[in-house]
Amino acid sequence: MRIAHELQRGIELGLVPRSTGPDEAVDGTAVTAPASWWFSLVCRTCGHTFRRGDRVRVDAAARAVEHLEPGLGCAGGPAADHTSEADEFAAGLLSVWRTDAPIVRLAPGDSLLPRPGEGPARRCLHCANTFRPGEHVVMCPCRRDDPVCGAAVHRDPARGLPCWERWRPDGTVKVCPVVKAKADGDG
């Protein structure tokens, strides 16, 4: 009898309308999670997508969010320089986790980086996040010697972005996903 009562109570509680997400009423500082309403949207200040783990400032009344990440320069904060320890860690990880694909580290001002007010930013072919300064990427994986499409895929395991390996575990591309042309064989 007690089990039947608890089951009925659970069913009734399950039918009560609730907030669509845990961050629906957040106002102030928060950390982005997949359940956040702003997850994967674009920051109006810097043009970058909101990723898991990004610290943000939320204005619930205005339904506005901006990054508090020092590397992006939003929310009044300056862009941060990478530490030598982080650079050494990334270099060490890339040296033992090799790939035949050419890796490029994005510098500030790179053409792949968002430019707010200049249209949609370029995004990773796998995770669909924007590219950030200092990230390692595989450029135009279809035609490495003569880039045509200008597409890129994250290849930065030190930052938790092993998109290249997830997208193409064997490291090859047979058809360009952007221009739909046959890849050059090296991709």
Return mean pLDDT, the chain.
81
Q: How confident is the model at residue 130 (pLDDT cuts 50, 70, 90)?
A: very high
Greater model confidence, 51 or 21: 51
154 CB contacts (<8 Å, ≥6 apart)? 124, 126, 127, 129, 131, 135, 136, 137, 161, 162, 163, 164
Q: Do 22 and 31 touch, CB atoms closer than 8 A? A: no
Predicted pLDDT at 87:
75
Enumerate domains of the chain plus CATH numbers.
Answer: 19-80 (no CATH), 84-167 (3.30.40)
pTM of structure: 0.75
Other C-beta atoms lying within 10 Å of the C-beta of residue 82: 12
Using the predicted structure, report yes or no on whether residue 71 has a pLDDT greater than 90: no
Q: SS3 breakdown of the chain: % helix, strand, coil, rounded to 5?
A: 20, 15, 65
Using the predicted structure, report yes or no on whether residue 2 has a pLDDT greater than 90: no
Predicted pLDDT at 83:
67
Predicted pLDDT at 18:
52
Predicted pLDDT at 124:
94
In angstroms, the CA 170 to CA 173 distance is 9
Greater model confidence, 86 or 65: 65
Predicted pLDDT at 33:
92
The predicted model gives 58-73 an average pLDDT of 87
Half-sphere exposure at residue 179, Cβ-oriented, CA atoms within 13 angstroms: 13
